[in-house]
């Protein structure tokens, strides 16, 4: 189970397991929550390193993504701004990475609605404006082009 940024756990609605926390380095939400793996995304190497030094909670993760996973779409995919002009979200970086690595025969997005509802986010994150540096329409189009089935709750990419 991968959760993003400012996720909120309500076991009846969201389940309680979190294997991977994928987050942007700029926010400190959920860094204290125990997870198996924490992937921290960020564009500028120095800023990313500063956040890791100041936000990581010892023992809150078993594994931590290294700098090679800092910006998957740009660094691994070599997808430049000429192809993808906006800054990709944490969710999109993670989805792109999972798709690129082809690590699972099943890739289901549960409750993933591209910030349309804002449900199941921490209250303090709900007060933050959704940033304009991301282009959610393109991310949604990329996902929907790969969708094998879509329901109100689930988007199945495989």
- Tell me the pTM: 0.86
- The predicted structure's pLDDT at residue 116: 73
List pLDDT tens digits, range 109-135.
987 877 676 555 666 766 665 565 667
Output 135 or 19, whichever has higher pLDDT: 19
Mean pLDDT of the residues in the chain: 88
List pLDDT tens digits, range 30-41.
999 999 999 999
- The predicted structure's pLDDT at residue 129: 59
- The predicted structure's pLDDT at residue 76: 93
According to DSSP, the β-strands at 35-41 and 61-64 are: parallel
Whether the predicted pLDDT of 81 surpasses 90: no
Are the C-beta atoms of 80 and 74 separated by less than 8 Å? yes
Least confident piece of the model among 76-85, 108-117, 140-149: 108-117
- First CA to last CA across the chain, in angstroms? 16
- The predicted structure's pLDDT at residue 102: 93
Helices (H), the chain: 11-14, 45-55, 72-75, 90-101, 123-126, 136-146
């Amino acid at each position: 189970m991968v959760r993003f940024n400012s996720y909120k756990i309500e076991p009846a609605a969201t389940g309680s397991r979190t294997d991977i926390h994928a987050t942007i380095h700029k926010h400190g939400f959920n860094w204290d929550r125990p997870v198996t793996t924490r992937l921290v995304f960020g564009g500028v190497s120095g800023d990313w390193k500063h956040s890791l030094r100041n936000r990581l909670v010892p023992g809150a993760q078993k594994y931590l993504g290294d700098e090679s996973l800092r910006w998957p779409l740009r660094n691994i995919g070599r997808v430049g701004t000429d192809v993808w002009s906006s800054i990709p979200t944490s969710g999109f970086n993670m989805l792109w990475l999972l798709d690129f690595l082809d690590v699972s025969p099943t890739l289901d997005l549960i409750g993933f609605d591209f910030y349309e509802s804002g449900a199941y986010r921490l209250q303090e994150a709900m007060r933050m404006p959704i940033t304009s540096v991301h282009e959610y329409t393109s991310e949604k189009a990329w996902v929907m082009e790969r969708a094998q089935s879509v329901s109100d709750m689930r988007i199945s990419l495989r």
